[in-house]
Structure 1
Amino acid sequence: MQDNVQWDEEQENEARQRVADNSVVTASSEEILKFDKEADVFWDKFYGIHQNRFFKDRHWLFTEFPELAPNIVEQNLDQALRVSSLEGDANNSLNPRNVLPMPSRIFEIGCGVGNTVFPILSYNTDPNLFVYCCDFSSTAIEILIENSSYDSSRCKAFVLDATQDAWNVPFEPECLDIVVLIFVLSSIHPDKMCHIAKQIHKYLKPGGMVLFRDYGRYDLAQLRFKKGRCLAENFYARGDGTRVYFFTQAEVKDIFENSGFVEEQNLIDRRLQVNRGKQLTMYRVFVQGKYRKSL
């Protein structure tokens, strides 16, 4: 795999044309309504089939989002300080105790079966940490709670339809330090994305942060869709009935800034994956962002 791959004009034009082609024939109005009204049913079926075997635990999270476990950053900096001290660097100004604040309350929306939650509970050793997590699928929550790593003294998992006008959640407004949105906003109809961002803003503390990562425009998955699977512009139904949207950086910026957040990071991550056995070259595109609620 190669990170941060640059596309040439030919690649960009080819991707744009493939998306234009697979968006010509859209799903019927009846299908679009069915995918929206029965979204929870499709996700329940997905997790009923795959259980906890489909997604891998996201150990990479702490490289992209060190805010989730600042103790790891501190340990690395402590090691760097010891090395620097041994080498006689009197000008070293690193201060591992002031790198990142330790979050005490983290909330993940769209937690699935815990592929983000369990790494956080494992790596973040703060005794005051508590992780809330929710999913649209009751089946996913049942699987998560049955996992031997689930610790009810440090974690609370519950079912929530984040598109609802009002949230029924086990915490008060302005009490969360971090909200995690990893490959989840893309599964929601574009018309409802800003509502979710505004609800997140309501429950974050002043100074709290949203950590976002999702599918980017012209990702391999978007280029592979066949005609007839398009529900709306850049919004598709997979074969199993689950849905996916493909973002631009500008769209992500608009969603969060229009909901009261200040942008701290917004980047595009293009990756080249090569399957040498099948002689396949695959380009993945992701959008990653960090958005803070003003103090």
Structure 2
Amino acid sequence: MAAPHAVDGVELGTGETQLILPDSGSDEGKRPQFGTRFLTDPRQVFQHNAWDNVEWTEEQESAAKKKVLENSQPLPAEKQEEFDTKANEFWNEFYTIHENRFFKDRHWLFTEFPELAPQSCPRPESLTQESNTEDIQQSSPTTGPCSEVEALTLNDESFPGASATYRILEVGCGVGNTVFPILKTNNDPGLFVYCCDFSSTAVELVKTNPEYDPGRCFAFVHDLSDVEANYPIPDGTLDVLVLIFVLSALHPKKMQASISRLARLLKPGGMMLLRDYGRYDMAQLRFKKGRCLSENFYVRGDGTRVYFFTQDELHELFMSAGLEKVQNLVDRRLQVNRGKQLTMYRVWIQCKYRKGLERTTETLS
């Protein structure tokens, strides 16, 4: 299985009505960081599109666990194998049908992940006249798009974005709803954005988008779960790696190796950013019997798959890949359809994990 791009806040292909849920934005298009709008009076629930950090009652959590248990009988092994081997077909068909009409650009990214926005660049303390190239490469991460160490750390000019000073890779880019907001928002000339997806159809849609700029972006087809396949980027060259509702599309048994492989692409100090489905999210509770592949892992009606995480599971994946926790939190959000007077409980997990700055014995000798 590879890394197609799932849709945040939308359940796909279940045979039920598809809901495009509104962003919880404030006036003038500015979206406050989650965790700032609290529902203190239940009578005011329909005053806004969404409420943050909504605590579940014991009854709600019990009902959610019961619902998941009722529909957790796994499909036969041969059927599961079919969904695994045909994953490419299912996602290509999905993007062929929907193209770029189904998605909304993720402008909330820069609120939750300011690492993607333009940054200042203080001179690294370790960059002194006595420092040599190896010292800098091993111990001094870039601290912004204008880093002065970049020219000293890379001699290979053969890969796309080799001369860039701040590199971002999104895995599972879909039709570019993360990539294009980054390119539009971050105008630093040193920025270069890579993006890849399992689906060749999705990547072609990115490349044919009028906003695609080959001078600032490189889109390519890649199977995240194929850890033997090479990336067009050398190890140790990325400042930020983004996973937005994509790891959940991978088979659970392939997640650890995939994250460990991605971690090798990061520079010391580089950051891996993730936002994905949490356990007992509304999308999980909507699955009927006959859709479960394994525990908390399901197949939608269109053949695409999705897993629902806990914080501990994600923490273990990142730590086992040698990364350090910066953030790991649950976004429990109550989204509201004010027109239909409906409430929808969403559970998402947001993580930031950093590659350490340790200096190797070889470098120090």
TM-score by length of 1: 0.88
2:327 to 262, 265, 271: 265
Match of 2:182 in 1: 120
CA distance in 1, matches of 2:345, 2:207: 35
Match of 2:71 in 1: 22
Which letter does structure 2 place at the counterpart of 1:291?
Y
Report deviation, 1:262: 0.3
1:235-250 counterparts in 2 under 5 A? 235-250=297-312
Deviations 1:55-100 (A, max 9, x none): 10000000000010134x99xxxxxxxxxxxxxxxxxxxxxxxxx7
1:196 to 258, 265, 270: 258
TM-score by length of 2: 0.72
**Residues 92 and 202 of structure 2 are in contact (CA less than 8 Å); yes or no, is this contact kept in structure 1?**
yes
CA distance in 1, matches of 2:286, 2:94: 20
2:249 to 183, 187, 206: 187
Which letter does structure 2 place at the counterpart of 1:216?
G
Report deviation, 1:275: 1.6
> Which is worse superposed, 166-175 or 181-190?
166-175
**Residues 118 and 188 of structure 2 are in contact (CA less than 8 Å); yes or no, is this contact kept in structure 1?**
no
2:213 to 151, 169, 173: 151
1:6-45 counterparts in 2 under 5 A? 6-23=55-72, 25-45=73-93
Which letter does structure 2 place at the counterpart of 1:63?
T
Deviations 1:43-64 (A, max 9, x none): 0000000000111000000000
Match of 2:355 in 1: 293
CA distance in 2, matches of 1:128, 1:51: 30
CA distance in 1, matches of 2:341, 2:70: 25
Match of 1:253 in 2: 315
> Which is worse superposed, 55-64 or 3-12?
3-12
Deviations 1:270-291 (A, max 9, x none): 1111223333211000000000
CA distance in 2, matches of 1:283, 1:39: 29
CA distance in 2, matches of 1:276, 1:204: 43
Report deviation, 1:5: 0.9
Which residues of structure 2 form unaligned runs of 5+? 1-49, 122-142, 146-164, 358-365
Deviations 1:117-164 (A, max 9, x none): 000000011101000110000000011100000000000000000111
Report deviation, 1:168: 2.3
Match of 1:94 in 2: none
Report deviation, 1:101: 2.9
The CA RMSD over aligned residues, in Å, is 1.3
Report deviation, 1:4: 1.3
Report deviation, 1:22: 1.1
Paired positions, count: 268
Matched, 1:101 2:164: no
2:336 to 262, 274, 292: 274
What secondary structure is seen at the aligned counterpart in 2 of 1:148?
A: coil
CA distance in 2, matches of 1:139, 1:263: 34
CA distance in 2, matches of 1:193, 1:30: 21
CA distance in 2, matches of 1:125, 1:294: 28
User: After TM superposition, which residue ranges in structure 1, 4 or more long, deviate above 6 angstroms?
Assistant: none
